[in-house]
Amino acid sequence: MSALNGDSAGQEWSGRELHGTGFDDDFGVAEPTLLAALADRANETAWMAALAGARLIVPIVAAPTDIDNSGDLAVEKSTDMAVVTLTAPDGQRALPVFTGLTALQQWDPHARPSPVRAAVAAQAAVSEQCEVMVVDVSSPGTVALRPSMVWALAQQREWLPAHQDPFVRDAVTAAASDEPDVQSVLCEAGGADALGALRVVLSLRPGLEPDQVQALAQRVGERIATDGEARARIDALAFAIRAA
């Protein structure tokens, strides 16, 4: 039997350098600290901190690129491996990721696991125009990451709720600074029924008509929306008016 001197492309193996992926000793087991953090749904800051340093698994599946429809049955002539994206009924796109092989195989036993750091997964979500990421989809511990969380992971920075984020607070204050009728501005959590929402509380001088108040809030909201970084850190925005 003759020895094989090259690979399938006819290139010599001699002199090649093979580099590890960084996950050579990773057997696909979910990290216990990450699972423990995700189990506490109420403590979003804690599980986002755990996710930031975690290894996640992105599913890769075969996608047909050339289909022969000349016969009675369609025949796949070639396929590519592609990242999976999900689409909700409202059109929102999501990137599914998994904490370990067990969760991935429960969802799709045929998907190929691609281990990556959370930042890389989030950057892939942004590249695929996915607004959200879903961790361990179809499992009892499914967790959805809102757009502000995906953006924070992709930027490799600490995530904070919008009402606790100094950058957001400064942006909101600046957006109201040109309004002489605004006496003070506060940033508050949107409430349990509006998870992730920011409530901007405007204290206004007395005597304003309802249409004046509405126009003022609209102007402030538009200024916040034109600040791309602030907008990326706010999942939803609401206003509350209080007398100064």
pTM comes to 0.81
CB under 8 Å, gap of 24 or more: what pairs does 31-36 form?
31/55, 31/99, 31/100, 34/99, 35/99, 35/141
3-class state of residue 233 by DSSP: helix
| Residue that is written with structure tokens 């429960």 in the block | 106
Report the distance separating Cα 10 and Cα 69, nearest Å.
33
For each of the chain's 244 residues, which pLDDT tens digit applies? 333 344 434 445 344 444 445 676 777 899 999 999 999 988 999 999 999 999 999 999 876 554 555 555 544 444 455 788 899 888 889 999 999 999 999 999 989 999 999 999 999 999 999 999 999 998 888 999 999 999 999 999 999 999 999 999 999 999 999 999 999 999 999 876 667 789 999 999 999 999 999 999 999 999 999 999 999 999 999 999 987 6
Counted residue by residue, the chain has a size of: 244
Domains of the chain: 32-155 (3.40.1350.90), 162-243 (3.30.70.1350)
| Residue that is written with structure tokens 């049955």 in the block | 73
Joined together, the tokens standing for residue 225 give: 């929306």
- CA-closest candidate to residue 201, choices 188, 218, 214: 188
